[in-house]
Amino acid sequence: MRIHTTDLGTRLAGSALGLGFAAVGAFAILVSPDAPDASTGDRSLWLGVTFLIAGACAFSLSWLLADLSNVWCRPPRRSLWRK
């Protein structure tokens, strides 16, 4: 595996998104035992697991892919309001 450092701004933004997903997932897993009923606790647990997986994927894709143009969208080159 090779860690790529080109387009550093997009890679850092993707990493921040991945860490945000992981933080929400960890919080959902940690509060799942305090749910009012078993069904809600189960849903919170699996939502947390899903968000942890999404966070790991976003973080790893941000640094391991050479070309990010098809993964993270870049802003348009010119304004949509000017003609």
Q: Which two tokens stand for residue 31?
A: 């509060």
The alpha carbon of residue 62 and the mean position of all alpha carbons in its chain are separated, in whole angstroms, by 10
Q: Considering the chain, what percentage of its residues have pLDDT values greater than 90? A: 57
> Quick check: 82 pLDDT over 70?
no
Convert the pLDDT of each residue in 26-75 to its tens digit: 999 999 999 999 999 999 999 999 999 999 999 999 888 887 777 766 66
User: Is 0.95 topped by the overall pTM?
Assistant: no
Q: How far is CA 54 from CA 20, 48, 50, in A?
A: 10, 10, 6
